[in-house]
Copies of this chain bind each other. A is one copy, B any other.
């Protein structure tokens, strides 16, 4: 007979890691299952708004969070992806790519992954010039011309990173407005390396073996830009597909109330995978703590 754990935490970004530290302090019998450690935070170049750190890179912050986990000797199954999650009677059954687990409560903190733009050439040239993570792939384009697609914080972050690496950066935004931080917008405006294209839509990505350029439509005006790299930073999709019984919003985000409870009692969610509007490291961490304390109280009521 398999042991039914108190709690399974799925994901180990800022939300999952914080939840695990709180669960450990409450001496819960639990496990963390995750594909990778750090989540989106691991791919951020500069984090300037995590309180307590004036300036820290994403990987540095993740390392700090991980140290915190290790201090408590938290059990973690890495490189393991959850493919099914279902609650029957009072038990949550979790199936992964490697095994099966049972628990009385679960916290889903699986975050998001990059959205595709859906134009011709995108799939064809993926990893051949088309990329979704500047921190990972930026250095490959040192001294070359690149395009960054998007207008939010992650696009601005990508443009700033590439300003320091590439020869020229085209920042291509489908609307007139950038939604990212003003501080970042100014850095970009002050750089002679960046050309900003507003109201511009990518029509296709072209090349031979690797990307050679992109076709742009700016309010009817067509343009071909010669670039070796295309960073697509148009947003993220929640990793929520495996949680079939949970209520989700139109973006596929798991709906939670203020206490990070989902519609299924005993199942909590925290961080970027949820319907909480702000996607910020400190908010994910705070909500991870709420979810863990919520799971603890739920268990106390069960007994």
User: Which residues of A (18-56) have their CB < 8 Å from a CB of B?
Assistant: 18, 21-22, 25-27, 48-54
Q: 1/0 contact trace for A42-85 toward B, CB 8 Å?
A: 00000011111110000001001101100100000000000000
Could you tell me if B49 and A25 are in contact, using CB atoms closer than 8 angstroms? yes
| A253 interfacial by beta-carbon distance below 8 Å | no
Which chain B residues border A283 with CB–CB below 8 Å? 286-287, 289-290
Minimal beta-carbon separation of A58 from chain B (angstroms): 12
A82–B52 Cα distance when bound, in Å, is 26
Could you tell me if A276 and B289 are in contact, using CB atoms closer than 8 angstroms? no
| A175 interfacial by beta-carbon distance below 8 Å | no
Could you tell me if B282 and A278 are in contact, using CB atoms closer than 8 angstroms? no
A257–B277 Cα distance when bound, in Å, is 13
Minimal beta-carbon separation of A220 from chain B (angstroms): 29
Could you tell me if A289 and B49 are in contact, using CB atoms closer than 8 angstroms? yes
Assess A183 versus B68: contact at CB under 8 Å? Given A51-B285, A280-B289, A289-B278. Answer: no
| A17 interfacial by beta-carbon distance below 8 Å | yes
Q: Closest residue of chain B to A14, judged by CB? A: B51
Assess A276 versus B293: contact at CB under 8 Å? Given A183-B25, A282-B286. Answer: no
Pick from A25, A48, A276, A278 the residue with the most CB of B within 10 Å. A278
How many interface residues does chain A have, given as a range? Answer: 35 or more
User: Which residues of A (256-303) have their CB < 8 Å from a CB of B?
Assistant: 257-259, 276-278, 280, 282-290, 293
Q: 1/0 contact trace for A123-164 toward B, CB 8 Å?
A: 000000000000000000000000000000000000000000
Could you tell me if B282 and A18 are in contact, using CB atoms closer than 8 angstroms? yes
Could you tell me if A27 and B182 are in contact, using CB atoms closer than 8 angstroms? yes
A282 touches which one: B49, B54, B67, B282 (CB < 8 A)? B282
A52–B286 Cα distance when bound, in Å, is 12
Pick from A50, A64, A65 the residue with the most CB of B within 10 Å. A50
Beyond A25-B183, A53-B64, A54-B68, 19 additional pairs, beta carbon < 8 A = A17-B51, A18-B282, A21-B49, A21-B51, A22-B49, A25-B182, A49-B289, A51-B65, A52-B53, A258-B258, A258-B276, A276-B290, A278-B289, A278-B290, A278-B293, A280-B289, A280-B293, A283-B286, A284-B286
30 interchain pairs, CB-CB under 8 A: A17-B51, A18-B51, A18-B282, A21-B49, A21-B51, A25-B48, A25-B49, A25-B181, A26-B182, A27-B182, A50-B52, A51-B65, A51-B68, A51-B285, A52-B61, A52-B64, A52-B65, A52-B68, A53-B68, A54-B68, A54-B71, A257-B258, A259-B277, A276-B290, A278-B293, A280-B289, A283-B286, A283-B287, A285-B285, A286-B287
Using a CB–CB cutoff of 8 Å, the interface residues on chain A facing chain B are 14, 17-18, 21-22, 25-27, 48-54, 61, 64-65, 67-68, 71, 181-183, 257-259, 276-278, 280, 282-290, 293
